[in-house]
Each structure stands twice: as C-alpha cells, then as structure tokens.
Amino acid sequence: MVPGNGNGHEDEAVEAEIVEAAIQDEAAEAMYPEAMERNAPAPTEAKPQRPYTPFVLHDLITLSVERRRKSGEALGPKLDNFKRAVVGNIESCFEQHADQARHLVVGYLLGSDDKASSKAWDDAETMALHRWMNATEQDGAWTVDPLACQEAHGVLAEAMACKGQMGLFEGDDPERPF
C-alpha cells in the first residue's frame, strides 16, 4: 500500500513489476552493427596503451567530447582554423582516397555519418580530434603522431568492415586501400 499518495486511493495496494530496460542507440547500431555486438571488447579498468583499438579510441574520443562539453571549453573564432588543421592532419595519414578515408574514420569515431564532415563538428568534437592527432610543429612543418595515423588506419578498416565496404576501392592495392 502507498499511504497518502494524494490520489484519493490511499487504501489500495500498488503492485508493479520491475522491468529492466536497455537503451539502445538504434542509429549507431544500424551504422556499425559489429561495434554494438555483445562480443565487442569490454572496457578495462587499466588505462589502455597506444596504439588504441578502434573500440577503445571511439570510447576515448566520446569521453573527451563529453568532458569538453561539460566544462564548456570553446575555440571561439579559432574553430574553423582548428577544423582545417584536423582535416589536414587526418588526411595526411592516408596515401589514397584521403577525403573518403577521413569521412569514414571521423564518422566512426564520433558515432554518426552526420558528423563525418567537419562542417558538422562542434568545438568539443574538434578539440577531441585535434588532441588525438597530437600534431607537432617543427621548422614550420606539422607532423602527426605516428600512433594516431596507425590508429586511423585501424579505425578505417573497422569502419569499412562495419559498413560491409571492404571492396570499396577494388582497383587499388588490397593491402593498402588508403
């Protein structure tokens, strides 16, 4: 019985079955079904070591974006410059089809094909991707962290497998499609 619940039925017993519900991101599951399967690697307690797997990198980028949004970090008028830098940095990791590769990698990491284009990135997403690339300047030339490029290739392979596009660029070297 629920005493004094204010609905005029204080003497009636209320019975309810407790139901556990899992919220599923149907869009992410449709785009990347393998990534959403139960057999995907479980998060570990220990800090992962680089190079990160595509699953771990996706989670780390997601956490970075959430943390930056929560803290209110913003690039302000520098946003477009940072977007261009991230685009160039990611594309520098790929020898062929760099634009398509970047779109697949970023779509996977940000969890949506709608976020594949830099035009759709907000400040937090741009900063998280920029930090991941860890580019450094020496003598006026920017160099992307080699581990970030290695991870980008792993993400690309996973994104293509999830989309069933392993043969997307069949005329190219199958060992290095990008």
Q: Which tens digits make up the pLDDT trace of 145-161? A: 999 999 999 999 999 99
Handedness of CA 91, 158, 128, 145 (dihedral sign): negative
112-169 confidence digits (pLDDT tens): 999 999 999 999 999 999 999 999 988 888 899 999 999 999 999 999 998 886 554 5
- C-alpha neighbours within 13 Å on the C-beta side of residue 32: 25
Nearest CA to 89 among 126, 48, 115, 51? 126
Model pTM? 0.68
Question: Can you tell me the mean pLDDT for 48-77?
Answer: 94
Handedness of CA 26, 44, 161, 50 (dihedral sign): positive
